[in-house]
Amino acid sequence: MPKEFTPKVVTANALLEGDVVYQTVDDRWSRHLSEAELISDEALAKLRLAQAEGQPELVVGPYLADAKPSDDGPQPTHFREEFRRTGPSNYHHGKQAEVN
């Protein structure tokens, strides 16, 4: 039996600001994980990553990150992605203080 595929989102950093960004279904780069496209199919994930890699003028270092579905869109499964989504935890600043 092949291993079950864990759903993924395509994430990267924006070239100009360095912000954490997520690929959306309609090919935008969103600052919000909740707007990301959650990809449940392995072949599609590879294709979407390849498309992201073809946009070096917009993003740096795209990769596939594990995520799980929720009523509020994709959620992180690992604490690293939780911090990337939110910003530093030492005090309230960075992304969490700026993104509405």
Partner 1 sequence: MYSYSEFDAAFVAERNHQFRAQVERRIAGNLTEDEFKPLRLLNGLYLQLHAYMLRVAIPYGTLNAAQMRQLAHIAETWDKGYGHFTTRQNIQFNWPELRDVPEILDALAEVEMHAIQTSGNTIRNVTADHFAGAAEDEIADPRPVAELLRQWTTDHPEFQFLPRKFKIAVTGSPNDRAVIKAHDIGLQIVERDGEIGYRVLVGGGLGRTPMIGKVLSDFVSQEDLLPYVEATVSVWNLLGRRDNKYKSRIKITVHEHGIDDIRARVQERFEVIRPAFSGIDVALFEDIKTAFAPPAFRQDGTEVFETTYKTDPIFRSWADTNLIAHKAPGYAIVQISLKAHGATPGDATADQMRVMADLAEFYGHDELRISHEQNVILPHVHKSNLPALHAILKKHGLATANIGLISDIIACPGMDYCALATARSIPIAQQIATRFDELKLEHDIGELKIKISGCINACGHHHVGHIGILGLDRAGVENYQITLGGDHTENATIGDRTGPGFSADEIIPAIERIVEAYLDQRQDRDETFLEFYRRVGMAPFKTALYEQEKSYAAE
Contact by Cβ (8 Å): 59, 46? no
Quick note: the x/- pattern for partner 1 over 61-90, rule CB under 8 A, is x---------------xxxx--xx--xxxx
Q: How many residues bind partner 1 (CB under 8 A)?
A: 25
DSSP reduced 3-state for 75: strand
Token readout for 46 is 């590879």
Token readout for 50 is 């390849």
Decide whether 39 or 59 has the Cβ nearer to partner 1. 59
Should residue 100 be labelled a site residue for partner 1 when binding is judged by CB under 8 A?
A: no
Should residue 94 be labelled a site residue for partner 1 when binding is judged by CB under 8 A?
A: yes
Assign 3-state DSSP to the chain and report helix, strand, coil percentages, each to 5. 25, 25, 45
Quick note: the x/- pattern for partner 1 over 40-59, rule CB under 8 A, is ----------------xx--
